[in-house]
Structure formats: C-alpha cells, structure tokens
Amino acid sequence: MSTEKSVWRRAYEWHEQRLPIVSFLDHSIGTKYPAPKNLNYFWNFGSLALFMLAVMILTGIFLAMNYTAHKDMAFDSVERIMRDVNFGWLIRYMHANGASFFFIVVYVHIFRGLYYGSYKAPREVLWWIGILIFLAMMATAFMGYVLPWGQMSFWGATVITNLFSAIPVIGDPIVTFLWGGFSVDNPTLNRFFSLHYLLPFVIAALVFLHIWALHIPGSNNPLGIEAAPADKIPFHPYYTSKDAFGLGFFMLFYFAVVFWAPNAMGHPDNYIPANPLVTPPHIVPEWYFLPFYAILRAIPDKLLGVVAMFGAILVLFVIPWLDTSRVRSASFRPWFRVFFWLFVINAVVLTWCGAQLPEGLPLIQGRIATIYYFVFFLVIMPVLGWIETPKPLPASISTPVLKPAE
C-alpha cells in the first residue's frame, strides 16, 4: 500500500518523462543548483532585476490595451489611462517608476560585479551578455519615454536621434531612416511603439542566455575565490527565501514612490503635449541617462562627444582584459577599493552634471568627471594590477570563519 504512487505522482512522472520542465527548473534555480554559502545581499539584485522585467512586461501589456500610438492621440490616450481607465493611474505609475527602479537595481548589480571582480575569467561572456541587456534596456526605456508624446518625449527623441547625424557622410540618411521622415513625427512614434513592445522580449531571451552562462561557472562570491563543493548550499530553499525577503524590502521602496511620489523622478514638461516648433529651454533626459549625457556634453566637439558617450559603455566589454589583477574581490585589493569608491562618487557627480546647464562650474566638473571615468578603466585598471600587493586570500570560504586570522 505504502509503495503505491498517488495518481498525481503518476501524472507528474508521466509528464516529466515527456517534458522534464520541473527537473529543469530544479537544476536551474532549485535544490540541485549549488550556490556559495557566503553570498551577501548584493547578490539579491539579479533576481530583483528579473522581477522588474516581469513587472514592466505585465504592466506594459495592459497599458498597450489603452494606448494609441498616433501623434494626435497618444498624449490624450495616456491622460485617459490616468483619469478614466480603472486603475490606469496605478498601472502607468508602476510602469513609469518601474523603469527607474529597474535601472536602480541594474546599476547596483553592475557595481556589485565591478567591486567583486565578477567580470573576470571565467565569467567574461556572462558579463558581455549583461552589457547587452543594459544596452537593450536603455533603448527600450528611451523609446518608452517617447510614447506619451509630451514635450520631453518629443525633444528627447529629437536630440538623441540627432546623435547619429554626427557620423560622417551617412549620418543624415541614417537619421532620416530612424525618423521615417524629415523630423520626429508620426512614423517615428509608430516604430518606437513597435520596438518598445518588442525589445523587452529580446531582453527576456538575453536574460535566459545570461543565466545559462552563469550556470557554467556558478556564482562568484564576496571573497572572489573558487567555492569548494563543501562551501555550497542548494539555491532552494536558502537563496529563494533570502531573495524573497529582499524582494519584500525592495517593494517597500518601489511602492512608496509609486503611491506617494509618483512624479518625483519625472519631468513636469512631459505633461505638456509635444510641440515641434518650440523647444523647452532646458532638455534633460531621464535620470538614468544623465551620466552619459554629461559625458556627451563635456566634449565640445559633436562627433567626439558622441564617440565618448558610446565609448563609455562599450569600454565595459573589454574590462576583463583591462584589469590585470588576478584577484577578483576588491576586499583583498586595498588600492582598487579606494579607486572603486571614487568611481562610484564620480558616477554620482556625472549624474548631477548631466542635469545642469552645460556652462561654468558644472561644465568643468563634468569634464573632470569624464576624464576620471575613462582613466579608471583605461589607466588605473591595467596599472594597478601590476603594482598593487593584494592581501592574502583565504584557502577556502570556510577557513576565515573556522580559523579566524591572527
């Protein structure tokens, strides 16, 4: 009697033999996936990013049911979502602020990787896919911000698409191609909506590759050393519960902003319908683009400014080779740690500069910060690896805990 399987168990096994999806998940994020036992809360941000992607796709699909991608109707359709559609205000505020929180999470995730050396061998391809996701997110958020067709939507789209006109010879045909006309207009809005709907699913596919690439070497950890099998614990239930706790904490902040300060990160000018004949006096992109906007404006030459702005992101692809240190974690690199935190402060300074008018003090500060941004990657990373003496690494993850260093 006791050996007899229940009908549910038999149905489950019948199905698993044909499509082993439960075993697959169990090996990916379940009891069969071993993770280092010393992961700290910075390792929460990967699953938080996945959560935000799901929130964006879900809220986006419902917004799209009430949104009209036409230059004469887009602005009003968004206002209708805000005023007349049941819970439309909630769905839109979750989506608009969700983009900001998605970027907060991903920026912490990237800085985590920089601090703990997660970009180094054998995780270079994993790092590359992460940068591709970041690029796709920026494209998605940029095109999403155009959809409400307010003044900032329109002029942000104009300035950013015009960046491509800096390319010699083929620049202007490219811009006309991007617009589908001779200025940002209805064809531009339509294609941006189409691509804004598409790209999140491209991101989802990239996330799949990202996690696949993660599973080959497994997670890095705060010590940056290889984790022995004895130092690993199953992902479920240990990290599923830790991630769930972190998610609850994160949602307190996210929904505090959604309910009590939903426009704090937006720009009031975007509640003015787009007017192609009047440029607002001061165009600022969304906050998550400000550091790169500051780099663009720090350089007085149009082409070089555009090159520096894209270079600021593309340089991330080669840092596995720019960083010559064999030690991963900054915890064991006394000098790298100093330059890392300077880099974080520098990023905040760039963000601030990007929101100011590019003249006087902010311009000079923007230039200094731009120089440090590139010096950090192109000079400090390679040189420090040679001249810095790292602290001794522990023999294993357990060693410092069981036998504390004298």
Partner 1 sequence: MANTAPVHHAGDGETRRDFLLHSTIAFGAVGGAMAVWPLIHSMNPAADTLALSTTEFSLASLQEGQAITVVWRGKPVFVRYRTQAEIDAARNVTLTELVDPAPDADRVKKDKDKYLVLVGVCTHLGCIPLGNKPMDPRGDFGGWFCPCHGSHYDTSGRIRKGPAPANLAVPPYQFLDDTTVRIG
Residue 77 among the catalytic residues: no
Q: Is 277 in the site for partner 1 (CB under 8 A)?
A: yes
Place of tokens 């490219």: 174
Residue closer to ligand HEM by CB (options 145, 239) is 145
Q: Which amino acid is at 389?
A: T
Q: Is 163 in the site for partner 1 (CB under 8 A)?
A: yes
The site that binds partner 1 (CB under 8 A) totals a number of residues, namely: 33
Report d(CA 255, CA 273) in Å as an integer: 27
Q: Is 183 in the site for partner 1 (CB under 8 A)?
A: yes
The site that binds ligand HEM (CB under 6 A) totals a number of residues, namely: 26
Residue 286 among the catalytic residues: yes
Residue 95 among the catalytic residues: no
**Which is the catalytic residue, given 215, 282, 391, 403?**
215
- The residue number whose beta carbon is nearest to ligand HEM equals 60
Work out what residue 129 binds among ligand HEM, partner 1, none; the CB cut-off runs from 5 to 8 Å by kind.
none
Q: Is 54 in the site for ligand HEM (CB under 6 A)?
A: no
Report d(CA 153, CA 155) in Å as an integer: 6
What does the per-residue mask of binding to partner 1 show for 118-157, with x meaning CB under 8 A? -------------------------------------x--
Q: What's the Cα-to-Cα distance from 171 to each of 157, 178, 286, rounded to whole Å?
A: 16, 11, 25
Residue closer to ligand HEM by CB (options 116, 145) is 145
Report d(CA 347, CA 114) in Å as an integer: 13
**Which is the catalytic residue, given 243, 323, 325, 329?**
243
Work out what residue 148 binds among partner 1, ligand HEM, none; the CB cut-off runs from 5 to 8 Å by kind.
ligand HEM
**Which residues are the active-site residues?**
215, 219, 242-243, 286
Residues at the contact surface with ligand HEM, assessed by CB under 6 A: 53, 56-57, 60-61, 63-64, 67, 78, 92, 95-96, 99, 102, 137, 140-141, 144-145, 147-148, 196-197, 200, 203, 266
